[in-house]
Homo-oligomer: A and B are copies of this chain.
């Protein structure tokens, strides 16, 4: 998806009534992007009103939303404090989006990959016994879209993300399903930072299809193995991208 008009919101002239939800994204992006570093107090609300060109009501609603995400903490008289990054809810899809591919730290990317290697194979195993026919069809459709993408890296990544999200959904585990956001973030990073070779994409696609086959046959063990294989490819991509910093290997 196109990343909205996050910085358009700051640049808006004056009276533009179409900026209710975008102010939250603008402030959130400014915090995640480092314009308001953790530990600092951001400007008082009346100043933020002028900065973002909206009323204090909107500013306050936005700050309350950011507060629920653990990004800031408001205290009377002292102002709104930007929380430490450790307190940020990194499972929140919007925060990951605001951080963007450029700001995502190597540590966080490593954490996400580790989590995927833990969760996704388990989800694949569960999906083998629980996936509905519709979900399997959706997975196959995602594979087809990945194949049709050809040179379009963005379309390929979108289909890839849909595949993994559907897989988590097909595990019929509510906790796993909620973790889709981190996969979006991981793939989004890979999309922007990499030029994945076509060969590897083909290889990945083959394994994806094999996983769907395993699901259709209700073969949990094989589905789990396929998932591990997919993530191994992703891990290779990532470590290659990050200059093999070495922190990625689990064992």
Contacts and interface: CB of A to CB of B under 8 A. Distances in A.
Contact of A178 (B60, B90, B114, B126): B90
Nearest to A110: B173
A48 to B, nearest CB: 15
A174 B86 CA distance: 8
A245 interface: no
A20 to B, nearest CB: 7
How many copies of this chain sit in the oligomeric assembly?
2
A112 B175 CA distance: 6
A169 to B, nearest CB: 9
A53 interface: no
Interface stretch (A115-123, A199-207, A208-216): A115-123
Interface string A207-251: 000000000000010000000000000000000000000000011
17 contacts: A57-B57, A90-B174, A90-B178, A91-B175, A91-B178, A111-B173, A111-B174, A114-B122, A114-B175, A115-B173, A118-B118, A118-B119, A118-B122, A126-B250, A175-B179, A175-B182, A220-B251
